[in-house]
Amino acid sequence: MSDDRPDRPRTTGLLDALEVRRNAAVGVAAGAVLAVLVYLVRVFELLGPNAGTQRYPFVGPEGWFLLLGVVLASATALLVTTALTAATAVRLARRL
């Protein structure tokens, strides 16, 4: 079966017009920077020691905060990518 389907329009033009690839790169960079900063602040106690005492099973506090950092980076990347793509779509719609 061929990938060229005449009954479906190609979406590469839309993705290029909305600059999705660039927006995703910016989103991933922003998410990674935010996650690294939060991780460093928390693990190295840059804002002071943690007042609470908790137990972190299996991987210890650094492991849990690393996992939370991955989740934070992913969510931030998705949010930034969506916002930038929506802003690009609005800009293109106003130009028409």
Q: Where are the domains of the chain?
A: 19-47+60-95
Q: Which of 90, 92, 78 is nearest to 26 (CA)?
A: 78
Write out the DSSP string of 8-29.
Answer: S--SHHHHHHTTHHHHHHHHHH
CB 28 within 8 A of CB 76: no
* pLDDT for 25: 96
| pLDDT tens digits, one per residue of 46-71 | 777 766 667 777 887 778 888 889 99
* pLDDT for 82: 96
- Helices and strands (H, E) in the chain, number of each type: 3, 0
* pLDDT for 73: 95
What is the Cα–Cα distance from 73 to 24, expressed in whole angstroms? 12
Q: What is the value of pTM for the model shown?
A: 0.75
